[in-house]
Amino acid sequence: MSLGRRAENGARGALESMGAIADSSSGMVEEIRDILRPHARLAVDVEALSPAADLFEAGMTSHSSVVVMLALEEHFDVHFPDEMLTREVFRSIDSIGRAITDLRGRAAV
Amino acid sequence: MQAQVTRAAIGAVGIDIVEVSDVEDALARFGERYVARVYTRAELGAASGASQGRRLAAVAALKEAALKALAPGDEAADWRSIEVETGAAGGPRISLRGGLAQLAERHGILALRGTVGLSRSHALAVVVAETAA
């Protein structure tokens, strides 16, 4: 492996450890979309939403966000503690991804 | 003897609408996990029976309207910290616990007053926060 590639991988690893990349991986984004589709009751097509788009502005209610949380817990085998039950955590696909990465990290420790 | 009158003013207002079918779907899909994250034991006890979904939709709408009136910003908001008694005389009674009770105190909120309208398909709730005049 070249020094350049090694440095690139090192930087990527550091960012992943901060949860800055893992949450926006296309795999996780698609998994979250699959959960939002039946549970978030959005007023728009979930495929049309960017990962940063505001889900509450797209029609997700607080009640729907609770249902989304339950589906996420089941799918990713994580538990959202009470302190994570905020609008910021459920605001976008990206923020949900960051939360799941964080919860998986905690479980791995 | 002169009656003591406590004067109150209306502070923030919260409004919310919940589809009964959303609550019924959540009950069918997630069961105990759903009710344990949203409702208190007292609320569940009061909502048992054939129309459980409609009654819980009314409770959920009142809770969310109360949250909007409290405006917790990005503070964590546990739905079970808001307890709603819908069968109370004079309208729903809303009480707070934990962090939300502290938040209400910091905002000078004396009480939350709510009302709820319930059709076959939807529950619509309005909650006002009373502050000292």
Which chain B residues have a beta carbon less than 8 Å from that of A83? 76
Nearest chain A Cα to B62, which residue? Answer: A63
Judged against a pLDDT cut of 80, whether residue A73 lies above it is answered with yes
Amino acid in position B8? A
pTM: 0.82
What residues contact residue A14 under an 8 Å CB cut-off, 6+ apart? none
Nearest by CB to residue B76, choosing from A70, A73, A83, is A83
What is the distance between the alpha carbons of residues B21 and A67, in angstroms, rounded to a whole number?
Answer: 13
Average pLDDT, stretch B54-83?
91
What is the distance between the alpha carbons of residues B86 and A48, in angstroms, rounded to a whole number?
Answer: 40
How many helices and strands in chain B, by DSSP H and E? 4, 5
Kindly provide the ipTM of the predicted complex, given to two decimals.
0.83
Q: What are phi and psi of A3, to 5 degrees?
A: -60, -40
Judged against a pLDDT cut of 50, whether residue B128 lies above it is answered with yes
Give the number of other CB atoms < 10 A from CB of residue A71.
Answer: 20
Judged against a pLDDT cut of 60, whether residue B2 lies above it is answered with no
Judged against a pLDDT cut of 50, whether residue A33 lies above it is answered with yes
Write out pLDDT tens, residues B3-52.
Answer: 556 677 888 999 999 999 999 999 999 999 999 999 999 999 998 888 99
Nearest by CB to residue A62, choosing from B25, B29, B64, is B64
Q: What are phi and psi of A104, to 5 degrees?
A: -65, -40
Q: Return the pLDDT at B6.
A: 63
Q: Return the pLDDT at A107.
A: 76
What residues contact residue A71 under an 8 Å CB cut-off, 6+ apart? A35, A38, A39, B30
Q: Return the pLDDT at A15.
A: 43
pLDDT bracket for residue A21 (50, 70, 90): very low
Which chain A residues have a beta carbon less than 8 Å from that of B22? 41, 61, 63-64, 67
Angle B90-B22-B44 from CA coordinates, rounded to 5° = 50
Judged against a pLDDT cut of 50, whether residue A9 lies above it is answered with no
